[in-house]
């Protein structure tokens, strides 16, 4: 019984039924994946599932996109603060439709691309389909990551300087003591370190700089040091971006091929559902021949 099935059997989660048996991948994310967790850290879990075939290809049930009744789409299932009391664990869970997952990873969304590069000891389960995706994870990396990661780092910079968090939150005393939010601060540094790896090594090790990140979480960096690090790193990474030999944008056809292979592994042949470029060219050729006869 995997974790999703266990949590469901205990009545702690109520996802759509297809998630129970259709989840292909589940990995630990957050501070545990980055090697900076404490004993009180919640367990962040990310994964993807295979929804029913007619949910991925709604025309199979006769639906015409934009006309009449439209079946609600499934992008993701999320549930926070799932407490498994008997073993003293708390989880935040996010399971994505494989299509949505591929799209976000292809865009190099920082949270999502990280979930493909977690170390093996963080992967709670991975089917043949998920193994195929992980085996090809470097294919998703491209220089567009710089813009995504920089934007996320900017947002973390703003959040770390909020002076008046909710007094009931765990962060209130931290901000009162240090003058800024240490958790958001370490994310600023983490994001810049990760995107540097992506652009220079075309790979990603989430725990590469964990000692540096743990020092920030212990309060060993001042706000001024974090800010100066950000501005210096941003400048140097602009040069790294320009010099990088990584592909400029995602290789969408290659990524789509992996996605189709995953779908066919689960649903069987998609020859009657998807038309390849060669098939479409043949259809056009046949139409042209008919028009010429007329």
251-291 confidence digits (pLDDT tens): 999 999 999 999 999 999 998 777 655 544 544 455 566 66
179: left (phi over 0), alpha (psi -120 to 50) or beta: left
Query: pTM of the full predicted structure?
Result: 0.89
Q: Which domains does the chain have, with CATH numbers?
A: 3-140 (3.30.460.10), 145-243 (no CATH)
DSSP 3-state assignment of 95? strand
70-128 confidence digits (pLDDT tens): 777 899 999 999 999 999 999 999 999 999 999 999 999 999 999 999 999 999 999 99
Cα–Cα distance for residue pair 147/68, rounded to 1 Å? 39
Extract the tokens encoding 125: 């389960």
Separation in Å, CA 17 to CA 3, 14, 55, 185: 15, 8, 13, 39
- Listed in sequence order, the residues at least 6 apart from 153 whose beta carbon sits closer than 8 Å to its beta carbon are 187, 188, 191, 192, 230, 234
Asked if residue 136 has pLDDT above 60, the reply is yes
């Amino acid at each position: 019984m995997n974790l999703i099935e266990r949590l469901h059997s205990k009545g702690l989660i109520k996802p759509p039924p297809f998630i129970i048996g259709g989840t292909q991948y589940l990995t630990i994310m957050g501070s545990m994946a980055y090697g900076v967790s404490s004993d009180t850290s919640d367990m962040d879990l990310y994964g993807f599932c295979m929804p029913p075939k007619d949910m991925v290809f709604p025309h199979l049930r006769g639906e015409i996109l934009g006309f009449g009744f439209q079946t609600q789409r499934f992008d993701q299932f999320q549930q926070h603060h799932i407490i498994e009391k008997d073993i003293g664990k708390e989880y935040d869970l996010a399971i994505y439709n494989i299509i949505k997952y591929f799209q976000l990873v292809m865009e190099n969304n920082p949270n999502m691309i990280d979930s493909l590069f977690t170390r093996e000891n963080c992967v709670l389960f991975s089917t043949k389909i998920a193994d195929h995706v992980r085996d090809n994870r470097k294919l998703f990396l491209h220089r567009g990551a710089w813009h995504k990661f920089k934007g996320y780092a900017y947002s973390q910079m703003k959040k770390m300087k909020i002076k008046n968090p909710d007094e009931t939150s765990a962060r209130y005393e931290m901000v009162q003591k240090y003058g800024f939010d240490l958790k958001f601060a370490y994310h600023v540094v983490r994001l810049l370190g990760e995107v540097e790896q992506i652009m220079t090594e075309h790979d990603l090790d989430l725990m590469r700089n964990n000692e540096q990140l743990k020092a920030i979480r212990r309060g060993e960096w001042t706000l001024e040091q974090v800010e100066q690090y950000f501005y210096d790193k941003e400048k140097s990474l602009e040069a790294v971006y320009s010099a990088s030999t990584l592909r400029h944008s995602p290789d969408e056809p290659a990524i789509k091929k992996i996605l189709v292979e995953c779908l066919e592994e689960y649903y069987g042949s998609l020859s009657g559902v998807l038309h390849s470029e060669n098939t479409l060219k043949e259809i056009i050729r046949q139409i042209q021949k008919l028009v010429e006869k007329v």
